[in-house]
Amino acid sequence: MDKKPIIELDEVVIKFSGDSGDGMQLTGTQFSNTSALIGNDVSTFPDYPAEIRAPQGTVGGVSGFQLNFGHKEIYTPGDYADVLVAMNPAALRANLQWVKPGGTIIVDTDSFTDKNIKKAGCEESDPLKSSKFGDFNIIEAPITSLTKESLKDSGLDNKSIVRSKNMFALGIVYWIFTRPLEYTEQFFEHKFKKKPQILEANKLVLRAGYNYANTIEAMPSYRVNPAKIQKGTYRNINGNTATAWGFLAAAEKANMPLFIGSYPITPATEILQELESRKDMGVKAFQAEDEIAGIVSAIGASFAGNMAITTTSGPGLALKTEAIGLAVIAELPLVIVNVQRGGPSTGLPTKTEQSDLLQAVVGRNGEAPVPVIAASTPSNCYNYAFEASKIALEHMTPVILLTDGFLANGTQPWNIVDSKQLPEIKPRFFKGEGEYMPYARDPETFVREWAYPGMKGAEHRIGGLEKMDLTGNVSYVPVNHEVMTNKREEKIDRIVNVIPQQKVEGDADADTLVIGWGGTYGHLLTAVQELREEGHKVALSHFNYIRPLPGNTEDIFKKYKKRLVCEINLGQFAKYLRMIYPQYEYKQFNKVQGLPFTVTELKKNILKLINE
Amino acid sequence: MDKKPIIELDEVVIKFSGDSGDGMQLTGTQFSNTSALIGNDVSTFPDYPAEIRAPQGTVGGVSGFQLNFGHKEIYTPGDYADVLVAMNPAALRANLQWVKPGGTIIVDTDSFTDKNIKKAGCEESDPLKSSKFGDFNIIEAPITSLTKESLKDSGLDNKSIVRSKNMFALGIVYWIFTRPLEYTEQFFEHKFKKKPQILEANKLVLRAGYNYANTIEAMPSYRVNPAKIQKGTYRNINGNTATAWGFLAAAEKANMPLFIGSYPITPATEILQELESRKDMGVKAFQAEDEIAGIVSAIGASFAGNMAITTTSGPGLALKTEAIGLAVIAELPLVIVNVQRGGPSTGLPTKTEQSDLLQAVVGRNGEAPVPVIAASTPSNCYNYAFEASKIALEHMTPVILLTDGFLANGTQPWNIVDSKQLPEIKPRFFKGEGEYMPYARDPETFVREWAYPGMKGAEHRIGGLEKMDLTGNVSYVPVNHEVMTNKREEKIDRIVNVIPQQKVEGDADADTLVIGWGGTYGHLLTAVQELREEGHKVALSHFNYIRPLPGNTEDIFKKYKKRLVCEINLGQFAKYLRMIYPQYEYKQFNKVQGLPFTVTELKKNILKLINE
Amino acid sequence: MGQIETKKYTPKDFKSDQEIRWCAGCGDTAILNSVQKAMAQLGHNKEDYAVISGIGCSSRFPYYMNTYGFHGIHGRAGALASGVKIANPKLSVWQITGDGDAMAIGGNHFIHEIRRNIDVNLLLFNNEIYGLTKGQYSPTSKVGQVTKTSPYGNIDNPFNPGELVIGSQGKFFARGVDILLNLNIDIFKLADAHKGTSVVEILQNCVIYNDGSFAHLTGKEFREDRLITLEHGKPMVFGADKNKGLKLKGFDLEVVTIGENGNTIDDIIVHDAKNPDPSLHLKLINMQYPKYPVALGVIRDVDAPSYNDLMDESIKETVAKSKFKCLDDILYSGNTWEVK
Amino acid sequence: MGQIETKKYTPKDFKSDQEIRWCAGCGDTAILNSVQKAMAQLGHNKEDYAVISGIGCSSRFPYYMNTYGFHGIHGRAGALASGVKIANPKLSVWQITGDGDAMAIGGNHFIHEIRRNIDVNLLLFNNEIYGLTKGQYSPTSKVGQVTKTSPYGNIDNPFNPGELVIGSQGKFFARGVDILLNLNIDIFKLADAHKGTSVVEILQNCVIYNDGSFAHLTGKEFREDRLITLEHGKPMVFGADKNKGLKLKGFDLEVVTIGENGNTIDDIIVHDAKNPDPSLHLKLINMQYPKYPVALGVIRDVDAPSYNDLMDESIKETVAKSKFKCLDDILYSGNTWEVK
Ligand SMILES: Cc1ncc(C[n+]2csc(CCOP(=O)(O)OP(=O)(O)O)c2C)c(N)n1
Ligand SMILES: Cc1ncc(C[n+]2csc(CCOP(=O)(O)OP(=O)(O)O)c2C)c(N)n1
Ligand code: SF4
Ligand code: SF4
Ligand SMILES: [Mg+2]
Ligand SMILES: [Mg+2]
């Protein structure tokens, strides 16, 4: 097996693609888990159609799973694939443009029937023979028939047999990249514990693919050595799970019960699902009848003394707008997670976008200031969910946490941040001494004290009407309204004192500063690093704290001559920066295709500005 | 009666104030109607508590009606009152600070009992004797007992008798300002047609008050001559009625049925109420179960080929956010009226504010551009409701029309704009020729064609998912999403070509430009005019078109050295201007007290900037 | 649910220092009194009461109660109360809501709260009008009613709140009248004892915008003949002389006079509020004057698990079974690896 | 309502050019076929159909219909359809909605549309799951059901759609099954003929996330014994041998075998879908297997004015009486004055 010469690589991008029913998500996940477990850094990007089952064999029905793994640190799932696995003509057609020149393409030749080629809408009758293939290293494998062959004695029905062909493909790729099979085999053993026939079949096919690759000549074998990454215990994690766990961590640190009130919506649903599963940790997960009940029940839970959150995506955030205002005026802690997706309206529900920023920052009736925080990698969703909770609880305010479809579904090896590594969270509970004044504030932070039902002697009433300073009684006194409006604003502004300073990565003496926020971090960092490696001077300042902006933001901006704000929208952060720091000019690079940036296009656009 | 010398005045501010149950709104309305009918210009500002009936006798329960009428053009209800009518101690206490030095105060001495004085929370035991009164001309009238006296033979019960004491007060004021009684008498005749006893009693008391004023000495009598205003037929109108009628006008001009789907909310409800009454004009007024059903039913009606609108206030706009996105992507005409009130959340529901601006402009998920228009006087709500409808129908887009509590309830004599004076409205209906392409666009305006159910041969499907250019079929093609996003944005931007140029009032060669938008126009104009009369150079540019801004906005801004944006919020329009024209500096003057500006404070702040 | 021992409270203990701002004569004030009286008699600690409302005249209620209170946003009282109760099931949660708050904008939360059987005492102040916004028709306004938004008469067919409760699988429904303090107090005690959503519709007079909407039923002179107060286990008799009653005739209800046409007290239906089958309760709820007397009292009171109890049990069970004792257990579970 | 003459359409005329994107075997496809067949037989012009939906797998329906169609936003199908129908009452409006779309987020519009009796044919695809979001429990999921959001079993007590329709004063309720094309077509015709909200619950199999949810009822082998198809005016008989039936026993329903224990066909209840009193309909709607057969067909079909007709009449009446013929009449009415 290891007779062949092995070529060492730094970084490889693989895209598994096939029909929605072909199990590509599972295949991709297995490959990335194995790679992570053997010490590579990995970044993944699952990409699937909005339909549960889009029409078989069509380009619209192609499901893809891209991953980038390497010997060095990996920040993005990669622009172009070194290896494409295409289980049918549609998958080939949809992804060919995304394969690097000279890249390897593995196709299941059995699927290239006339019918399938037509369904895929290919122009040529035999796309495998097409001149376009000159540049590629094509591996034509009769995957379906070989799968059938290897399972002919398994006793399984034809449908089940064919369903396991993805494991044949995985076996091939495992061999090419010298991966061990054991982790995937362990996975089978767990998953098919109660179905020994299926368990055996999967193992058999995986190995058959592996052996097939070993057998046929003309196939290079690569090794991607473990990455030199920080010490620690790692696990693979995606953004939604990381978000859910960040809240668990916060509740534990605050020593409070965790309540989530949510309504399912793509791509946020997994947070709710994970927390429903965490009933085993005492989480009160309430699947509400709609988004409004989701947030309002969470506000009720917060009033009752729980740490409360609600999770959603764009259209759901729109529906929660009115209730966010209630949490603002009631000054109750609450975290609202918005996993952004393609808009407007239902838009492109399974695709990523950053177009809810202004809605989050200013999209409410009345003067209703809310801190806004954005995570920037799948794994740091954990940290920012924790941070959002800490700010909410310690500053008695709703906080909006922005992630996006790319972060939510993307995975990454994560150097586990356990409870020892996290700071304390100390809500400002009423201590029971003296008379309780619901709207008396800490003179430093402007934060009021929290008393909740069950606390003896602190009975009080709150609500959505303007309230008298200190007492919280309803008040229509004109000047009091201005006082309270200003205090609410000031309270949020002062959070600047507890958030970290903004960082810059790259050249301090560059002319050009690239500015980004949220889920584009990996792509922006890679682009900037590559440009620097190529000899250009450039820096990146990527934002996680949106409102308030870190205190040193202006200091950073003024150091650079040129600023390029890159976003997956029409320029909302640029607009926001103009609102706050109008004295600087901001160039924009925007993309609105429901897709993450590519490093290539970023470099091109940054370079253009550098050279201007 | 006309033996006394009559003093001629240019402008007078009167405030009627009393308990919520004292009928001050009616009294004020009668005075302003009479004044308007005899040719004065008038501006009014009703101001009442949020409770239906706030506790009797307390300051919180005081209901006021302020009006400014004059011989010259009147743009605001005035800052300080020349005459205050105070029906009880609480009314006196609440309003004393708003009376001009040397002003006249008419009090019902019967109401100054110990109990009432205590209820009002007055510091002194006899507030009428207080030293604070040195400066005022006090008319102490035993209004309640005189009312009782004059009705002692009326056969009415005590409650009904006392209820008419407001007419006694009105009679006094009528006499002071030499107003005829006939219009109010006609009003009684209409209103109490079926209650002749009450009719007679009201007439009697009104006249008794009038005669009382005539009888007692030491009382000057003033005349405010008719204003020199434009020729035409006039009527009194408030902002909500004007808004409703603007829509009627638009539907008539577009020759389309008018549909309104709304849910009651202060201070927008009267628009719905007026249009419910206009069933007699064929209006389909649908009081929905909530705000969401209000707007969504309107979208349905628009899809079905009606001219559709929905009306609400802040919290309701928040609830409609998601559905506005649907109208954006479906590219269906719709007008959303938002009558702004004090926020956040329920806030100060009966008070005015301009704090929903950013919500209107950018507060939606996804890139969801919507034109935003703001009315600036009670009567021009008519024009801008018409304009909003015209843009919606001719550009196939939802349009947000902003008014506010001050405009909604304020009244003004209105030089009627009838159908002859209004432009045509020409929706781009599908003509039935050729194949219908739902998302084919006019190359100039980017507007699509409108076909609706019932039109033969144009059957098609629309919805909230991203759609393919031209055909409107669902599309997940990445580049198409960008194309459509840009076209939707561009369509709204191009509306700049059909809206009027921005105007400047005042000195073209001033250094200082005052900038405002929406309901503050009257106050800003008065302040600027008065400053100019006082010899200062200053100009005003007041905005009605918010998104897009008029094409010449930049030209105007660049002409001035200093810009002061005055708003009833924390500076939302200033932020918005920085977003669009960051190259200019904007100073701010903001007030968030649930009250309109006073001309006095505006002048002070503008002057400060002029002198800087 | 606080201590078992009965606290010695007086109604005054439940009065807040805020001045009542309802119109003089508004039914809300009478209901406030009956709630305060009832609470003084119930066994909960004062700090364990949470009084939750939406927006409307009626929803100002919490401000007048010296308990924990939350005046929410319009229509969302049900969701707010649900969150409070699930978050802390020990609390005694009272939801105050109007016909608009609960059945117009809040309709969805209303039906879901009821179907889930969240253990909340839900007092629905039905004045058949939107009071706070000054008199538009509500989803319980009568057909033909002239209001600010139905100047030509209302064409919107009204809900019958109890019927919607049945449709939502409600397990407790009672009907009170603002001015009938003792009846209300009796109902509140049973509502408090019932574990699940206890919906109490209270016919409430809005003196300003819908005065006398229930006067044809509640007028002292004829009240006894037009209303029937149901009590579990008691025969359904009514009338000034307690000689009228309800009898089953096939699948229908019939009003009979005891002692006439051979009808005896034994012919009269004995009220069974505990019957899970809702169809007879529905008939009782739907009874309308003049054909029938209108039913007051606890019409339905059926035991069923509440969502909050099920949630609690389910959490206890899974926590007990779980291998995870703290988050670190989860973080280090499954596929992890070490980099040294 | 289009012309009286019957159009000669075939089901193909109602198929759009868009490829169907439901999973192979999804019940939605069967329902689509039955709707297209029914429409070909009804008397409306094709351009007068408006097919309106919310969001969900089922709500993709309009894309496959060659009629006017609007795929709305989640939960708002009822409000959208209401607007369409009120705006243009001549249209034949078909609302397509899922159990989540209609009864979770859309619950409020659902109950209000029904209470108003807006003349819409409302097809509720009940698969007891959220399909499009990949398998969370819905408000009709069974207690104990394991789904993505109920990994330890669902604790949320489900609605029975028909019961909620009754609670909302529904005048028409029918139940169909995805695969029973002829039954569905019969129902659709009656729904179309009914003026008012015609709610048709269709038991729909989601092969991916809730496969076999209704299999215990609809399996060919026992279907006849576990389902009963009600027809107005016909006795309530069922069973493979048509020898079982429903009989009234006091206030309850009983399943009896004709010919056994002295039961004859005359003991069997004759279905009266037109009875305004909902209590027997409610019992029929609530029948659950194994105690009872589950009722299919048109269970309730009661005449009552629709909101849209009342609106139309009210407008006609007020317009006829009005002194205002155009806006100028209003502008110049009342107190006006001239400045010369
Ligand atoms: C989101 C929102 N929509 C509308 C309103 C306006 N509003 C306040 S209370 C109310 C209705 C009140 O009726 P009801 O609930 O019956 O209470 P009542 O005043 O009759 O006691 C309405 C429409 C609001 N405050 N918020
Ligand atoms: C405002 C909003 N909330 C949530 C969603 C996500 N969502 C889409 S469909 C759906 C539920 C679908 O269930 P159902 O209506 O039963 O339709 P099915 O897919 O089962 O046919 C949900 C929760 C959304 N699109 N919009
Ligand atoms: S308006 Fe009606 S409901 Fe509101 S406080 Fe007054 S009487 Fe009560
Ligand atoms: S997920 Fe279920 S409901 Fe949705 S298309 Fe597939 S089978 Fe049908
Ligand atoms: Mg009410
Ligand atoms: Mg479903």
The rounded Å distance from CA A20 to ligand 4 centre is: 13
- Residue A197 in tokens: 């026939």
Same-domain check for residues B323 and B402? yes
Q: For residues A389 and A331, what is the distance between their CA atoms, to the nearest angstrom?
A: 14
What residue has token string 């009345």? A366
CATH number of the domain where residue C94 is located: 3.40.50.970
Ligand 4 pocket by Cβ (under 6 Å): A 52-53; D 22-23, 26, 28, 57, 127, 131, 206-209
Q: For residues A291 and A315, what is the distance between their CA atoms, to the nearest angstrom?
A: 9
What kind and span of H or E run contains A100?
strand A99-108
Q: For residues D161 and D170, what is the distance between their CA atoms, to the nearest angstrom?
A: 11
Kindly state whether residue A159 falls inside one of the protein's structural domains. Answer: yes
In eight-state DSSP terms, residue A429 is B
Q: Which atom of ligand 3 is nearest to the CA of C210?
A: 2
- The DSSP code sequence of D210-277 is STTTTHHHH-TTTHHHHEEEE-TTSB-EESTTS-EEEEEETTEEEEEETTSTT--GGGSPBP-TT-S-
Same-domain check for residues B494 and B456? yes
- The DSSP code sequence of A61-85 is GEEEEEEEEESS---SS-SSEEEEE
Residue type, D250: G
Among A323, A350, A329, A282, CA closest to A492: A329
Per residue, what are the HEC states of A105-118?
EEEEHHHCCHHHHH
Q: For residues C297 and C286, what is the distance between their CA atoms, to the nearest angstrom?
A: 14
| Predicted TM-score (pTM) of this structure | 0.96
For residues D154 and D141, the answer to whether their CB atoms sit within 8 Å is yes
Kindly state whether residue A550 falls inside one of the protein's structural domains. Answer: yes
Q: Which atom of ligand 1 is nearest to the CA of B264?
A: 23
Ligand with an atom nearest the CA of residue B341: 1
Kindly state whether residue D285 falls inside one of the protein's structural domains. Answer: no
**For C309-318, b where at least 16 C-beta lie within 10 A, e where not — what string?**
bbbeebbeeb
Kindly state whether residue D124 falls inside one of the protein's structural domains. Answer: yes
SS3 A97: helix
Same-domain check for residues B467 and B350? no
Q: Which residues of C touch A283 (CB under 8 A)?
A: 315
Same-domain check for residues A83 and A159? yes
**Residue range of the domain that includes D73:** 11-213
Same-domain check for residues B364 and B439? no
- The DSSP code sequence of B340-383 is E-B-STTBBTTS---TTHHHHHH-SSSS----EEE--STTHHHH
Same-domain check for residues B245 and B191? no
Residue range B318-367, pLDDT digits in tens: 999 999 999 999 999 999 999 999 999 999 999 999 999 999 999 999 99
Dihedral sign of CA atoms C135, C136, C138, C142 in order: positive
Neighbours of A586 (CB within 10 A): 21
For residues B573 and B504, the answer to whether their CB atoms sit within 8 Å is no
Kindly state whether residue D23 falls inside one of the protein's structural domains. Answer: yes
- Residue D309 in tokens: 């007709």
Cα–chain center distance at B84: 23
Q: For residues D319 and D310, what is the distance between their CA atoms, to the nearest angstrom?
A: 14
The residues of chain A scoring below 50 in pLDDT are 1-2, 218
Mean pLDDT for back-to-back runs of 10 residues, chain B (612 residues): 64 93 92 91 87 78 92 91 94 91 90 90 78 78 94 90 94 91 93 92 94 77 79 94 98 98 98 98 98 98 98 98 98 98 96 98 98 98 98 98 97 94 97 94 98 97 97 95 98 98 97 98 97 97 98 97 98 98 97 96 97 92
Same-domain check for residues B88 and B124? yes
Dihedral sign of CA atoms C104, C107, C110, C114 in order: positive
For residues A54 and A60, the answer to whether their CB atoms sit within 8 Å is yes
Residue type, C103: M
Which residues lie closer than 8 Å to A470 by C-beta, 6 or more apart? A437, A439, A440
Same-domain check for residues A49 and A170? yes
Same-domain check for residues A23 and A142? yes
- What is the Cβ-side half-sphere exposure of residue B163, based on CA atoms within 13 angstroms? 11
Flag whether residue B405 sits within 8 Å of chain C, measured between CB atoms: no
CB contacts < 8 A (A, B): 219
pLDDT at B219: 65
Kindly state whether residue D253 falls inside one of the protein's structural domains. Answer: no
Work out the angle at residue C119's Cα, subtended by the Cα atoms of residues C114 and C120, and round it to the nearest 5 degrees: 80
- Residue C184 in tokens: 């209300």
- The DSSP code sequence of D28-88 is HHHHHHHHHHHHHHSSS-GGGEEEEE-SSSGGGGGGGBSSEEEE--TT-HHHHHHHHHHH-
The rounded Å distance from CA A239 to ligand 6 centre is: 27
**For D187-206, b where at least 16 C-beta lie within 10 A, e where not — what string?**
bbebbbebbbbbbbbbbbbb
SS3 A321: helix
Kindly state whether residue B1 falls inside one of the protein's structural domains. Answer: no
SS3 A19: strand
Closest by Cβ to D87, choosing from B236, B248, B284: B284
pLDDT score of C3 more than 80? no
Indicate yes or no: CB of C87 within 8 angstroms of CB of A252.
no
Across A109-226, the runs of DSSP E, i.e. the strands, are 137-141, 221-224
CATH number of the domain where residue A139 is located: 3.40.920.10
Ligand 3 pocket test, candidate residues C128, C209, C210, C213, most atoms within 8 A of CB: C209
Beta bridge partners of A567: A590
Flag whether residue B591 sits within 8 Å of chain A, measured between CB atoms: yes
Among A145, A271, A273, A267, CA closest to A209: A145
- Residue A375 in tokens: 């995570």
- Residue B400 in tokens: 């947000």
- What is the Cβ-side half-sphere exposure of residue D44, based on CA atoms within 13 angstroms? 25
Q: For residues A502 and A515, what is the distance between their CA atoms, to the nearest angstrom?
A: 11
Ligand with an atom nearest the CA of residue C73: 1
- Residue A270 in tokens: 């997994």
The rounded Å distance from CA B365 to ligand 6 centre is: 25
Which residues lie closer than 8 Å to D242 by C-beta, 6 or more apart? none
Flag whether residue A286 sits within 8 Å of chain C, measured between CB atoms: yes
Q: For residues C72 and A211, what is the distance between their CA atoms, to the nearest angstrom?
A: 66
Q: Which atom of ligand 2 is nearest to the CA of D104?
A: 15
Closest by Cβ to C90, choosing from A282, A454, A456: A454
Helices (H) and strands (E) in chain A, counts: 20, 23
**ipTM surpassing 0.85:** yes
- Residue A560 in tokens: 């650079």
**Residue range of the domain that includes B75:** 6-223
Kindly state whether residue D316 falls inside one of the protein's structural domains. Answer: no
What residue has token string 């599908």? B430
**For B257-285, b where at least 16 C-beta lie within 10 A, e where not — what string?**
bbbbbbbbbbbbbbbbbbbbbbbbbebbb
**For B478-514, b where at least 16 C-beta lie within 10 A, e where not — what string?**
bebbbbbbeebbebbebbbeebeebebbbbeebebbb
- Which of the residues C9, C60, C76 would you substitute to probe the A interface, choosing the one with the greatest number of A C-beta atoms within 10 Å? C76
pLDDT at B2: 43
- Which of the residues B296, B332, B365 would you substitute to probe the D interface, choosing the one with the greatest number of D C-beta atoms within 10 Å? B296
What kind and span of H or E run contains A146?
helix A143-150
SS3 D127: coil
Chain C nearest-CA residue for D138: C112
SS3 A412: strand
The rounded Å distance from CA B189 to ligand 3 centre is: 29
Same-domain check for residues B117 and B212? yes
Q: What is the mean pLDDT of residues D39-63?
A: 97
Among C226, C233, C240, C302, CA closest to C269: C233
Kindly state whether residue B402 falls inside one of the protein's structural domains. Answer: yes
Last residue of a domain, which of A498, A513, A548? A498
Ligand 3 pocket by Cβ (under 6 Å): B 52-53; C 22-23, 26, 28, 57, 127, 131, 206-209
Kindly state whether residue A309 falls inside one of the protein's structural domains. Answer: yes
Same-domain check for residues A465 and A339? no
Last residue of a domain, which of B498, B526, B542? B498
The structural domain count of chain B equals: 4
Residue type, B511: D
Among A106, A94, A166, A127, CA closest to A595: A94
Per residue, what are the HEC states of C289-312?
CCCCCEEEEEEEECCCCCHHHHHH
Kindly state whether residue A510 falls inside one of the protein's structural domains. Answer: yes
Q: Which atom of ligand 3 is nearest to the CA of C56?
A: 4
Kindly state whether residue C129 falls inside one of the protein's structural domains. Answer: yes
The structural domain count of chain C equals: 1
Indicate yes or no: CB of C105 within 8 angstroms of CB of B58.
no
Neighbours of D261 (CB within 10 A): 8
Indicate yes or no: CB of D24 within 8 angstroms of CB of A277.
no
**Given phi > 0 = left and psi -120 to 50 = alpha, else beta, which region is A70?**
beta
Same-domain check for residues A31 and A115? yes
